[in-house]
Amino acid sequence: MTLAELCLPGAVLLIILSIAPAKFAGRRDFDNANPRDPAFYRDAFRARAQGAHMNGHETFPFFAASVLLAEMKAVPQTTVDLLAVGFLLARVAYVGCYLGNLPTPRSLVWLLGLALNLALFFSPWWAMAH
């Protein structure tokens, strides 16, 4: 299993962990029988955690497809690994910025993650040129 492939469950774990602080901080108010109750997420911190969590769901399919495409098209594995790890690190920073209420850095880190994911997706194209 490659490092890039190991980033896939890492990204899934990050999605799960991004909502955990809200549930832990609001454990007295959290109702596991109704885990998506909008009232629970009215608190600003909980809303940010939910936003980070949902954004993780939104970005994961493209990331997974990009990793698989790059590996399927025989992009040098070091390139695929570096881009995948970079993306995952950007996502960790993104979640930290989201939870820490840092909107401008969050947007910049999101843009970095998108750029890394686009580079990964298009890597078969530019790898053929070399």
Per-residue pLDDT tens over the stretch 37-92:
898 999 999 999 999 999 999 999 999 999 999 999 989 999 999 999 999 999 99
Residue with the bigger pLDDT between 24 and 129: it is 24
Domain covering 3-128 in this structure, CATH number:
1.20.120.550
Answer for the pair 117, 89: CB distance below 8 angstroms, yes or no. Answer: no
Domain definitions of the chain by residue range:
3-128
Query: 21-52: b or e for each residue (b if 16 or more CB lie within 10 Å)?
Result: bbbeeeeeeeeeeeeeeeebbeeeebebbbbb
What are the φ and ψ backbone dihedral angles of 16, each rounded to 5 degrees? Answer: -65, -45
Segment 90-94 long-range contacts (CB within 8 Å, at least 24 positions apart)? 90/116, 91/11, 91/14, 91/56, 91/59, 92/14, 94/52, 94/55
The pLDDT, as a whole number, for residue 31 is 85
Overall average pLDDT of the 81-106 stretch = 98
